Every structure is written in structure tokens, then in C-alpha cells.
Amino acid sequence: MRGANVTMPCKNAVIPYLDKLTLAAEAIQAVNTIVNENGTLVGYNTDGCGYTQNLRRGGVEVKGKKIVLLGGGGAASAIAGQAALEGAAEIAVFNRRDEFWPRVEQTLQTIAQAAPECSLSLHDLDDGRDLYKAIRRCDILSNATRVGMAPEVERSVITDQSCFRPELVVTDVVYAPPETRLLRDARAAGCKTCDGLGM
């Protein structure tokens, strides 16, 4: 098969052909798994539950937690949707104010409707002061951008490591390399870390 469009998943385009969506798939309007349940086609999104299960294996629950989420793409949407549905108290999403900003706003509004108890907010990733202030008061910091992915393994979204502290949990969706620069820096500061392999 040739061409990137042939092999890329159609996580949004498949939805009209399904009979039912799970809460998480409905919240983020993206499906990566379809199950035929006695003739009913049910769309699931397993990315978010992979993320929360990976945290759980490390002894971390998202319920009641304040989360700072870096990025607003598909992985970030899945994380935000699942964490909100599992009872996260606050999710602050930091994304660049680019052409995708309105789409991220819409996704967060949809998640908020599905999980009204969770406080969701969208911030500019380029506003370092706002970002580091949010990190210093959160419980979980999650990188859902491509920064740190091979071959640029020495890059990290977080350049000021003073925001790291032992009680902070730091996660990354990047799995190549298994330990990104972000996770190395966080671990050196005493943070609990989770890599992207579990997601």
C-alpha cells in the first residue's frame, strides 16, 4: 500500500457507520476500535483508558487530580476525555494558538458535556508564565506532543526543571525512546514517571 492517507486510521470518518459509541469515544468523537456486539457495531477509543491504566499500574489514580496536559491533538483528546470521565478534578490543556485551536476548544466543550464535574480549560502553550504556574499546582503533568520523539530525543517541552517536585507525576505519550528527556529530567528531580508504552 502506498501513500500516507491509505494507512492512516480514519478515527472520525468511521463514526457515521457505527451504531453506538462508548462514552469516551463519544466525548472525543474518535474511534480506534470497532467491536461487533451481536450485530451492533460499537466504536471504542482505547487510547485514553490505556493512559489511565498505565498510571494505575504505577499506583496513580486520576480521580480528584489536577492535570496539566501538553498538546491538543488526538492523544491529548483521548487522555482528557478518559481522565475527565474517571473523575479528574481539573484538566488544563496547553496547546499552541494555531489553526487547530478552535478544534481543541470544541473537543473540550464536548468532553465538558460528558463529564460536567471536571473543570476543563485551554491555555496557550507559548505562555510560559501561565504554564509553569499551572504545573506548580498540578498533580499530574502529561506530555501529549511529539516533542522528545526520536530522532529529536534531546528536546523537552519543559525547559525550566524548577517546576518539578517529588510529589509530581510526569507522563509522556512518546514511546521512542522509552525514556524521553522530559522523563529523565523529571526522574532526576524525584518525580514519579510513566512512559508512553502503556498507552
**Residues 7-40: pLDDT tens digits?**
446 778 888 989 998 888 888 888 988 999 999 9
What residue has cell string 492517507?
Answer: 5
What residue has cell string 487522555?
Answer: 79
User: What is the edge-to-edge ordering of all strands in the sheet holding 40-44?
Assistant: 20-21, 40-44, 33-37
Query: In this structure, how many other beta carbons lie within 10 angstroms of the beta carbon of residue 61?
Result: 14
Q: How far apart are CA 83 and CA 55, in angstroms?
A: 11
- Over residues 70-92, mean pLDDT: 96
Rg (CA), the chain: 17
Which residue in the list 11, 65, 172, 195 is annotated as catalytic?
11
Q: How far apart are CA 125 and CA 66, in angstroms?
A: 17
pTM above 0.95, yes or no: no
Of the ranges 21-35, 82-96, 150-164, 173-187, which one carries the lowest mean pLDDT score? 21-35
- Tell me if 162 sits within 8 A of 186, measured CB to CB: no
Which residue in the list 19, 20, 47, 126 is annotated as catalytic?
47
DSSP the chain: --SHHHHS--TTTTGGG-SEE-HHHHHHT--SEEEEETTEEEEE--HHHHHHHHHHHTT---TT-EEEEE--SHHHHHHHHHHHHTT-SEEEEEE-SSTTHHHHHHHHHHHHHH-TTSEEEEEETT-HHHHHHHHHT-SEEEE-SSTT-TT-TT--S---GGG--TT-EEEES--SSSS-HHHHHHHHTT-EEE-STT-
- Tell me if 101 sits within 8 A of 74, measured CB to CB: no
Q: Has residue 152 got a pLDDT over 90? A: no
Instruction: Give catalytic status of residue 11 as yes or no.
Output: yes
C-alpha separations of 41 from 20, 21, 25, 30 in Å: 6, 9, 13, 14
Q: Has residue 93 got a pLDDT over 50? A: yes
**Residues 31-64: pLDDT tens digits?**
988 999 999 999 988 889 999 999 999 999 999 9
Nearest residue to 71 via CA among 172, 185, 166: 172
